[in-house]
Amino acid sequence: MVTPAIVRNLLSQALFSRDPVPVLYEICAKAVELTGGRNAMVALYNEGLGYMTLRAGFGKEWMPSMLGERINVGEDEGEGITAFVAATGKSYVTGDVRKDTHYKRLIETSVSELASPIVDSYGRVRGVVNVESPKEDYFLDEHREVLELLAMIAGVAEDREMARVREEALLKVGTALDVAKTEEELLERVAEVTQHVIRVNAYSIFLWDEVEQAFVLKDTVGSSTLSPDAKYKPGEGATGWVCQHGEPIRLEDPSSDPRWRGKYLEFPIEEIKAYIAVPILSRGRSMGCMRAIRKLPKNRFVDNRFTQDEENLLMAIAEQLGTGIEKIRSLERLLTSERMAAWGELSARSSHMIGNRVFALAGDVNELRHLVGDEPFDREAAKRVVDDLQSGLRRIEEILQDFRDFVTATKLSKSLTDVNALIRETVEGFKLTSPSVQINLELDESLEPFEADSSKLERAVGELVENSLHFVDHGSITVRTRRATAEDFAEAGWSAKQASHVRIEVEDTGPGIPVGAKSRIFDAYHSSRAKGMGLGLSIVKGVAEAHGGIVYENGEVGAGAHFVILLPMRLPKPAKETAR
């Protein structure tokens, strides 16, 4: 007999449990207890693949090895009663499975079987709970009512589980806002969360581009046909409509909507079942949109339309994404303003330094003119003047190169880069020009190539090695690479938590850096070296941060300098479907 206490206890578990699986096992146990059956099982949908799997069970013949058993969904004979109930969405009872054309044997003792659909809050079948008996014609209407009640509670548990997953997704997106340093990194993190929670085949983000005067593709995952040059004018197609109006669209048959143009698609239109797009807003202004696609399911009984809950979740994610993008762009504008101020100072300094060099060159040219007119011609004196001219020109070129490197340090052109090969090539040149200093390499050969600007990274590593050479006469310099660990992040006082970073170290046996100077060594013009304009370590900092990384110095005075760069190892995105 079903009592209010039993129902209250099960509902409490369904609503408040952090893990729905124990609830499903309890439902199976209650199904056996309240109906007098021998075995009970729960099967749930794998939406992306279009079939169900056994997730819980209870009874004398139930075995843990049955977990994961695949159950197709359909009305065909021999597919099983569970498959039939999932397809029809109605309870089903048979008094003798041996005479039932739908039955598919799983437990030898089964004779009577009763099964009821597990339905979510949108009326979609999410699974089936069934109970079996070794007696003929055992299950009655009262048993069916009990099982349908238990199936309803299982539906509540499934709804609550999805709500919990959505809550966790929003927390993860919030974390991404805190730790992402670049727009690219933020988009990647949000895409990871969205794909995990809203099971889709493809996912794309479009953002407004002032130059193109259109909403251009910024990130996509899972597409097989979407052009990397995809862009929409305001109001163009369903995507452009969402971007322009700042309102969401959820379509079950996209091509039937009058706003649909099918201009840029993640998949051929005949493969698309459902489409959803939500605006990315910031301060009431549309910055673009997030859109997702679901393909036609392999099984016609699978209902994979987007729900209102999924739309609400995407809207919440898009709202946080808009806030994060605005935050990063505001910071970039601030940094740009600071860099512009630095460029102004740089221009003034370089103008002054180049002016001094030009004044000296003019003096050398004037002296050379006199030497050429003298009789007899003093060849040695002329040679000394030419040497001075060449030295002055080299000095001007160094100033101009520092200027160029400082200005372009944060402008990256990424490609697949082997950091170990890059370091070997960089260090080889210094070995030839500085034979008195031993340069050692300790490189982790297991590091795979990743996306980086190789020329900028070479400049950064070269600057650190050259900086060490300035302070080391006959000692040694060691360059290391390895994967970064949690301890490295703690050492740097950095909160980034990406899947994989590389740690690049340049350590020397020089005098080290005084504690009081450590906080200023990466500032422009702070240098004790005579060469250049004092921009070297500032350029290293710009290169590291432009890659979404960090650089810091961790040596001890008297024991040498120890520079560390941590960079995210971003791999090229694979083209694969994301539904599961």
| Bond from prior residue into 376 cis (ω within 30 degrees of 0) | yes
- Amino acid 579: pLDDT: 40
* Mean local confidence (pLDDT), 120-136: 93
The percentage of residues in the chain with a pLDDT greater than 70, rounded to a whole number, is 88
Q: What is the Cα–Cα distance from 256 to 249, expressed in whole angstroms?
A: 13
C-alpha 191: how far from chain center: 6
Q: Is residue 198 pLDDT above 90, yes or no? A: no
Q: Is residue 43 pLDDT above 70, yes or no? A: yes
- Amino acid 576: pLDDT: 42
Of the two residues 295 and 4, the one the predictor is more confident about is: 295
CA distances to 319, 323, 325 from 173, in Å:
10, 11, 12
CATH fold of 4-159? Beta-Lactamase (3.30.450)
Q: What is the DSSP letter of 297?
A: P
Q: Is residue 530 pLDDT above 50, yes or no? A: no
Q: Is residue 406 pLDDT above 80, yes or no? A: no
- Amino acid 572: pLDDT: 62
Cβ contact 264:272 at 8 Å = no
Of the two residues 332 and 456, the one the predictor is more confident about is: 456
H or E element, residue 289: strand 285-295
CA distances to 214, 279, 314, 396, 450 from 282, in Å:
17, 10, 15, 46, 33
Q: To which residue do tokens 């605006």 refer?
A: 279
- Amino acid 212: pLDDT: 92
- Amino acid 526: pLDDT: 52
Burial of 316 (0-12, 13-18, 19+ CB in 10 A): middle
* Mean local confidence (pLDDT), 240-258: 93
Q: What superfamily does domain 409-580 belong to in CATH?
A: Histidine kinase-like ATPase, C-terminal domain (3.30.565.10)
> Mean pLDDT, the chain, as a whole number?
84
Q: What is the pLDDT of residues 10-29, one digit of tens each?
A: 888 888 887 889 999 999 99
Residues 6+ away with beta carbon under 8 Å from 237: 259, 260, 261, 262, 263
Q: Is residue 117 pLDDT above 80, yes or no? A: yes
What is the number of other CB atoms lying within 10 angstroms of the CB of residue 578?
A: 20
Nearest to 131 by CA among 202, 35, 218, 253: 35
Q: In 108-248, where does DSSP find H-type helix?
A: 141-179, 183-197, 237-245
Q: What is the Cα–Cα distance from 69 to 106, expressed in whole angstroms?
A: 10
Q: Where in the chain is the domain with CATH 3.30.565.10?
A: 409-580
Count of positions (residues) in the chain? 580
Q: Is residue 575 pLDDT above 60, yes or no? A: no
Cβ contact 175:166 at 8 Å = no
Q: Where in the chain is the domain with CATH 3.30.450.40?
A: 4-159, 166-327
Quick one: tokens of 414? 């990424």
Question: Of 3.40.50.460, 2.40.30.10, 3.30.70.20, 3.30.450.40, which CATH number belongs to 166-327?
Answer: 3.30.450.40
Band (pLDDT 50/70/90 cuts) for residue 411 is: confident
Q: What is the Cα–Cα distance from 275 to 428, expressed in whole angstroms?
A: 54
Which of 13-22, 119-128, 354-363, 401-410 has the weakest average pLDDT?
401-410
Say whether 88 sits in a helix, a strand or coil.
helix
Q: Is residue 71 pLDDT above 90, yes or no? A: no
Nearest to 503 by CA among 460, 555, 564: 564
Band (pLDDT 50/70/90 cuts) for residue 31 is: very high
What is the number of other CB atoms lying within 10 angstroms of the CB of residue 170?
A: 16
Phi, psi (rounded to 5 degrees) for 459: -65, -40
Find the radius of gyration of the CA atoms of the chain: 34
Q: Is residue 558 pLDDT above 70, yes or no? A: yes
The string of DSSP letters for 474-535 reads SSEEEEEEEE--HHHHHHHT-----S-EEEEEEEESS----GGGGGGTTSTT----SSSSS-
Quick one: tokens of 117? 């659909």
Q: What is the pLDDT of residues 274-295, one digit of tens each?
A: 999 999 998 888 999 999 998 8
Q: To which residue do tokens 């490189």 refer?
A: 443
Quick one: tokens of 90? 């109605």
CA angle (56, 61, 62) in 5-degree steps? 10
Q: Is residue 185 pLDDT above 70, yes or no? A: yes
Which amino acid is it at 185?
E
Q: What is the Cα–Cα distance from 407 to 152, expressed in whole angstroms?
A: 64
Band (pLDDT 50/70/90 cuts) for residue 534 is: low
Cβ contact 52:64 at 8 Å = no
Which amino acid is it at 212?
E
Q: To which residue do tokens 């992402």 refer?
A: 180
What is the number of other CB atoms lying within 10 angstroms of the CB of residue 72?
A: 18
Cβ contact 80:71 at 8 Å = yes
- Amino acid 9: pLDDT: 86
Band (pLDDT 50/70/90 cuts) for residue 577 is: very low
Band (pLDDT 50/70/90 cuts) for residue 383 is: confident
Nearest to 304 by CA among 29, 49, 31, 501: 49
- Alpha-carbon dihedral sign for residues 261, 263, 264, 265: positive
